[in-house]
């Protein structure tokens, strides 16, 4: 049996939460390996809806959840999320959740800097969530981050705060924001230490033991390939690598342990925040997709921009992320549309491209080249087999497979976890 890594194949919000929840029923351990509490997964279980930002989705299934070292952890946000899901009946504690002891922490000064920078950018803002994720990753690579294990060493914690404040307070004052007090931060981190340290461990060791014992591991990505800091629509990207290769570094396992790479894509396309979106619709169809799909960010509540499926973009994601199969979600949102369009490439200044170039100016100027397909009048909502789908819906899915050069191995037809058509079990490799 293979392990599985689940990543987004567009700009995020593809419905990864439902797919991970569905796959978690077949896994033993679910691992978050990158991102922070700027990513949200919504899981619908009966009459209960869980909105998760940091917690691995497998906790809803009663599986062991692990937050890897590739995640930047906001202690306050994590504890608030734990309290919220406990109130909904989930058992979350050190026996069900483990956190890498070398995971970097997000502090209030990170969020303050994030927001001050966005305000200073004005019309050129990137569209971050303002939660401090980017500045926390900056501190990690600059080797001044406070990591979870540091909470157990008062002298280390004090010294790291001195270095952090020397850097951040200078920046904050330059941006016209209030500086932070070391005494206040140190006191709060000292209070948080006994609440967080019981979750800490060298998770790489637990994962190695699990792999040797033949236990199934599901690696849960956040955001998506086109928000990858290297491969996405830079600079309108997140601050971490979102491709499947990051699962190894972000969890502390070898590349061979990652297993099957499953990419999640909507049957149309959405994006939250700023940045290029060639197939975006500003008409009645775009509004209809947003209403039917309930397209609002799980974390931010911001309305998502909506458009046609961009096969050229997803093909690019398939190639750079090593996606071996796709899970196509929200097919039911397209029910009843008379015709559908699929982006198959771009025209930029008279030239044709099968991929989105790296240069920001070219990305902004990209005009989609469309292929038109027939819509369908029947309903796909709740379908659990190919036989229940209208013929035109099947043709739409098959054409997407051809264009993105990857098979659709799982099809989601509603938010309910069991409304799923499985063509191939990703755990089988």
Q: Which residues are the active-site residues?
A: 13, 41
Closest CA to 71 of 228, 204, 250: 250
Nearest to 404 by CA among 342, 362, 361: 342
Any idea which residue has 């397909």 for tokens?
373
Q: What is the CA radius of gyration of the chain?
A: 22
Q: How far is CA 317 from CA 46, 225, 313, 324, 354, in A?
A: 33, 6, 6, 11, 12
The answer for residues whose C-beta is within 8 angstroms of residue 311's C-beta and 6 or more apart is 342, 343, 344, 400, 403, 404
3-state secondary structure of 79: helix
Nearest to 56 by CA among 102, 26, 93, 17: 17
24 vs 61: CA distance, rounded Å = 7
Would you give the distance in Å from CA 131 to the centre of its chain?
Answer: 15
Both tokens of residue 179? 């500086």
Q: How far apart are CA 208 and CA 66, in angstroms?
A: 13
Answer yes or no: are the C-beta atoms of 389 and 332 closer than 8 Å. no
Alpha helix ranges (H) inside 272-359? 284-292, 311-321
């Amino acid at each position: 049996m293979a392990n599985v890594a689940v990543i987004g194949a567009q700009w995020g919000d593809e419905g990864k939460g439902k797919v991970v929840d569905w796959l978690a029923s077949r896994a033993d351990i679910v691992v978050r390996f990158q991102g922070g509490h700027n990513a949200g997964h919504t899981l619908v279980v009966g009459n209960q809806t869980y909105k998760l930002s940091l917690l691995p989705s497998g906790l809803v299934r009663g599986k062991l959840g692990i937050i890897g070292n590739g995640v930047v952890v906001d202690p306050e946000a994590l504890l608030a999320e734990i309290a919220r899901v406990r109130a909904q009946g989930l058992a979350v504690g050190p026996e069900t959740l483990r956190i890498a002891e070398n995971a970097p922490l997000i502090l209030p000064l990170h969020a303050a800097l994030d927001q001050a920078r966005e305000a200073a950018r004005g019309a050129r803002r990137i569209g971050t969530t303002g939660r401090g994720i980017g500045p926390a990753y900056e501190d990690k690579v600059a080797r001044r981050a406070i990591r979870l294990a540091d909470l157990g060493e008062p002298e280390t914690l004090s010294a790291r705060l001195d270095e952090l404040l020397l850097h951040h307070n200078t920046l904050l004052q330059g941006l016209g924001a209030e500086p932070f007090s070391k005494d206040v931060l140190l006191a709060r981190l000292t209070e948080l230490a006994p609440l967080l340290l019981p979750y800490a461990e060298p998770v790489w060791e637990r994962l190695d033991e699990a792999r040797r014992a033949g236990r199934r591991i599901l690696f849960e990505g956040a955001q998506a390939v086109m928000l990858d800091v290297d491969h996405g629509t830079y600079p309108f990207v997140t601050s971490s690598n979102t491709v499947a290769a990051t699962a190894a570094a972000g969890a502390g396992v070898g590349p061979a342990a990652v297993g099957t790479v499953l990419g999640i894509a909507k049957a149309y396309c959405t994006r939250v925040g700023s940045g290029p979106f060639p197939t975006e619709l500003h008409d009645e169809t775009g509004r209809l997709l947003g209403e039917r799909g309930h397209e609002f960010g799980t974390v931010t509540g911001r309305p998502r921009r909506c458009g046609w499926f961009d096969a050229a973009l997803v093909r690019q994601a398939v190639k750079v992320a090593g996606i071996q199969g796709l899970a196509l979600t929200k097919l039911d949102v397209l029910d009843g549309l008379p015709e559908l369009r699929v982006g198959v490439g771009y025209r930029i200044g008279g030239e044709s491209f099968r991929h989105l170039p790296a240069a920001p100016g070219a990305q902004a100027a990209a005009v989609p080249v469309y292929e038109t397909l027939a819509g369908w009048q029947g309903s796909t909502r709740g379908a659990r087999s190919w036989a229940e789908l209208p013929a035109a819906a099947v043709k739409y899915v098959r054409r997407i497979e051809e264009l993105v050069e990857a098979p659709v191995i799982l099809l989601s037809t509603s938010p309910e976890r069991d409304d799923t058509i499985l063509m191939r079990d990703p755990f089988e490799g």
